[in-house]
A and B are shown apart, each in its own frame.
Chain A
Amino acid sequence: MLALLALPVLAGQQQLKGRVAVVLDVGGRGDLSFNDMGFKGTDEAARDFGLEMIEVQNATAADYLPNLRNLARTGQYDLIICVGFLLGDALSQAAEEFPNQKFAIIDSVVDAPNVMSIVFRENEMSALIGALAAMAAAYHGYPAAGMVLGIEIPVLYHFEAGFRFGMDWGLKKYAEVTGETPDVKLLYTYTGTFSDIAAGKAATEAMLAQGAVGVYNVAGPLGIGDLEAISEYHENAGTEFGPPYYFGVDANQDWMGGGKHGLASGMKRVDIGCYTAVKSVVEGTFKGGVISLGLAEGGVGISKVQDLVDFIQFGIDGGSITCDDFYPIMANWARNRATLPCWIWQAVDELEAGILDGSISVPTANTVEEMQAIRAEYTLGAP
């Protein structure tokens, strides 16, 4: 045994141009969402630019700072990417201690000259989901559309503001096309958690009871509970497709639950954020400050056919679904999408085009006051 151990396998290393490290949130790999996408984006960039990439996971939140310090101390990494806003505290300290080390962080703003803070304009993709939800509700004669949110933090205000604007736009569009004036309310709940799946289920059940055409998940894993409530609703009603729908978030979650209820997802492309950061270092354009990624940069978007194909593949690679699931999911998803007429999908595309060419600007909110102003402007049935 010892003789075997004494022969370290020295792999022939090809000459690599640099090194990047990606530091993940405590959730770690395997979430098929945030962390996995951070890994995927960095990995792709490393391969495209011929860099060596290492991945660092954290067993607990107390490991964030030591891991960043250990990486920075080596002085060997051209860029250290932190995936997730929980790493913000640790990074602001590490960035100060190692002013010559380049860092990037996803979803949080760290004010230091050596940190590139990558944030997303979630309001843009949420507007598309809001418009779709409102038009779906009006089309099927449902009185409401729902939104289950996590902890009330500024990032989630982006989602709520965009969704409100989108619903308003969708209802106006519906009136313009059909000549009817639908009355669709917004139901929304801040559950106060990003981890309690049961809270997502309970909130969704309450919304479905009030006639919600679907629920937009803005609380990561709570979506599992949201989808469970929706699936049970369909079972009890004896329906297979159609409303109520599930609207996914961050990753393309349309394939979840066999693709039967996921109508569309508001995607936040963490992978593109990581790719952008690595690219900027390779091209020498890296600088500290905030980089905002929206529809125009491909940083956010509403799920399309190709996204679904990519993400099912992602799920198969991750081992959560098998290759045999591919066509059944695609078929279910197509049947579910077919419960809405083509003109509604075209209207969503029209809104997207409007945002892209700048003719439509989606409001956003970063503070309670700004959020209240938007709530007052787009009341959507709430007092």
Chain B
Amino acid sequence: MNGLRRILKAPSTFWIAALLVTWALSTWSFPLYKALDARWIIRFPSQFEIPLDVWLTALFKWLQNDADLFFFTFRDLTRFLSSLIEWPYDQVRALMADGFSSGQGSNAVPIAPPLSWIAVIFILVAMGRYARDWWLAALVGACFFYLAVFGQWDSAMVTLASVIIAVPIGVALGLGIGMLTYRSLWFDRMTRPVLDLMQTVPVFAYLVPVLVLFGFGPVAALIATLIYATPPMVRISTLALQSVPPEVVEAGQIVGCTQRQMMWRVLIPSAMPTLMVGVNQVIMLTLNMVIIASMIGAGGLGFDVLSALRRLDIGGGIEAGFAIVVMAIALDRLSQAFSKRPPSPIPPADWGFMRRHPWLISTCVVVIGTYLLGLVIPAVQTYPASLTLTTGSFWSDALEWINVNFFDTFEAIKSFFLTVLLLPVKRFFSGIPWAWGIIVMGMAAWRIGGWKLGLMAAAMTLFIAASGLWAKAMITLYLCGVSVLIAYMIGVPLGIWAGQNARVNSIVAAIMDTLQTLPSFVYLIPVVMLFRVGDFTAMIAIVLYALAPAVRYAAHGIRSIDPQMLEAGLVSGCTPRQLLWRVKLPLAAPSLLLGLNQTIMLALSMLVITALVGTRDLGQEVYIALTKADTGHGIVAGLCVAFIAIIADRILTALSKSSKTRLEAA
């Protein structure tokens, strides 16, 4: 009797009971509906569905055509904003890629060529040397030389031009909003959910309204990129300002700083290293967006990847894809070096201008020199096409060889995974009746994070059901759930291994960098060739993309364990195995949970890409809405994805908090 009571009180009882009930309802929901003749069990009653998508479409139509803000229309306003971005963008693009000209369209008369390839490489090498040392300079130089040698130069410069424009705007906006959130708690509360939505609503969902309001072409792509890439900068700015030590702030107050001086002379300089991390994030996210941006007119490397794969030129797609990776690595290392750069010593006053600014002077010399030389020798201006390399048909041939020889093996592996894992999980999720889904979601969130979280989770789940997208959302949960599980099962051991062994770490880190910056479309098409269209292919693509955070956070968690703890374990006679399971893993738990959180976020962000290989989930809904230019439906489906992400994020954050407090208590 006592034993039974203990079992009932144990926290695990709730979870087991919830799972059992869910499983039973999922299995028998269909017979139940037939027996009771109650169709509402499996389908949300359509008369209660909220036609939010219709309202949203109407709203955007109104904004686009009729909205009048007394002195000008709403569209005049958005067009004005886009012209603000367009002018600097055109100049930078002319400087990097197209050359300067006067006149429009095909009547344009060229005035001056763009920067020569030698000048661009020199500038980057100089930045590398300035930021850290010759090693970095050599790496950055080699990366950009690769672009020239593989014939990716022109497209790469178009992409670089959009990075050069997007990053300062993103950083300035992010810092500005970050400063406001730092000053006002109320503003912070207001912006937080908006930032969540900006990061989790798939970009495809708002491409159409952005196009309509901001016009066609690169500017719309830049604005979509900014919506996606700015939120991390806001968060990091807030965090950076908040973590400035109070002594520094006090010192500022003592010397009588005004509010403005306090911000620009005290807070921002001391928060600089952290702020630079944000800059780095904005650069990386901007590069992540190049494929999607190229779909709406940004051109550049993203367009090359897309059009190469549309004609099944696997090699061409891989070359352009790796050009993005190489550029991302160069810009990432460069911006990281800038964030860690110690302030340079002030040069003696008696040094001349020339001596104080060696890099500025030499850059000017190279830019002007190559421009003049380029007028005589074209190879100085443009890398000669005859010297470019290409992998040619190597990749297609390799893929064909694998396809012809190993397809049956792959087929067997795929069938195994489908029958053992994917199909049962799919059946489980798609059977869950919507009403019970809302209840169990709310209860689970309540148990973990309190009643507020429970209420929010239940409300968001209700939104999904009331939008008529319950079935699609369950397919989404299944596909993401399975992919996250597999990514985590591969990623965490890999991360633990990398965390304990420096050499493994350097290799694993390089692979993870590549996987995260290589546009997923590059490997999606080869995977389709080997595994056909279907859920399994989608799962592989999601796992490949979502692997990185699982590995990184696990490695980070293991590495940041206090060495005294490990010594204590060794002294008390732990075997290596016990040391891992009893000491290292529990101590790394908060980090592991954070990794899981990020893995889920990345998996969800891949949904829209996997829609390209024929999944039937929310990502597909967003994609269909995009191809039909159905603004409202796209946004509603995008919000459903965002809500799933937000629920997962909040629950895992709560879990991570409680595990941290448990660790501190112990």
Determine if chain A interacts with chain B.
Answer: no
